[in-house]
Amino acid sequence: MDVTHTSISNVEINVFLFTVGHVVHKLPEGESVVGVATLADEIYVLRRKERDQVEVYDVIGYRLQRRLSVPDICGFTDMTSCEHYRWVYISDHVIECIHRLDVHGAVTRWAVNDKPHTLSVNAAHNVLVTCREVRKIKEFSSHGDIVRELTLPGDVISPLHATQLTNGQYIVCHGRRDDAVHRVCKISDDGRHIVESHGGQRGSGTGQYRVPIHLAVDNDGFVFVVDFNNRRVKLLSPMLDYIRDVVSCDELTWKPTRLCLDVNRRRLYVTASEIVKDGELTTGRVVLFSV
């Protein structure tokens, strides 16, 4: 992919803008995938099953290295990783906790005291937990101590995922299937105000979403957004202007649900699951794209 020097809102940035992502590899099909993360030159895949929930692949040959079991896990919804501490975090909405997993498979957990939905790790190496039902972002230390708790603005209905920028602001996507508004928002560092947004009434246009379910931000502030029911991944500028679809519906037979961005290798890992009647996720896999 060529490096293009461009200007967006008078900000000069070197960024990879003009090439759509291409499929590099597809990990094996199996039970539905509810999370993906990279850590220490390995890919961690979280599947919905009773044991051996985490599959670990190498990032070069994509060979299965091992399987790890998380005991007493009940209703997991997302996974993220921290390269600094070399831990993987898994959210469990049934027993309202976070499971912390190291590279050898040792597991500890801590209570969230609300239903955790999705996860990210910020520049301070703390875990951000998006609690959809109470419209909150809870920040925990790597050992599970509460650092801060933010209640999102009232018009941010059903927050589905959040991540924090290096300037302290937050990027939040919100809008479930029946909500009127489906957007990606930049939120002030105190959680009180919407600074910028992209989206609005749900739909399939370039400025619309049908359930923006998960996101990732690169080192320059560009935002990748999983648009669940439109079966695509969008790329937004740091000001949340639409740039292009980096993954189109033609490249995803199944519905995308989660993603992980490997900035160093310029790889986008997208989970995709087959959905049957009543919205039940069945077979799933991870598709790797170059970006």
Q: Could you give the domains of the chain?
A: 23-290 (2.120.10.30)
Per-residue model confidence as pLDDT tens digits over 227-238: 999 999 999 999
- Residue 144 amino acid letter: G
H/E stretch holding 7? strand 4-8
Count the helices and strands in the chain (H runs, E runs). 0, 27
Q: What is the mean pLDDT of residues 127-132?
A: 98
Cα 236 to Cα 198: distance, rounded to the nearest angstrom? 9
Specify whether the CB–CB gap between 254 and 274 falls below 8 A. yes
Is the entire prediction scored with pTM above 0.85? yes
Per-residue model confidence as pLDDT tens digits over 53-98: 999 999 999 999 999 999 988 899 999 999 999 999 999 999 999 9
Q: What is the mean pLDDT of residues 153-177?
A: 96
DSSP string, 65-100: EEEE--TT---EEEEEEETTTTEEEEEETTTTEEEE
pLDDT band at 253 (very low <50, low <70, confident <90, very high): confident
More confident residue, 36 or 19: 36
Please state the φ and ψ torsions of residue 83, each to the nearest 5 degrees: -70, -30
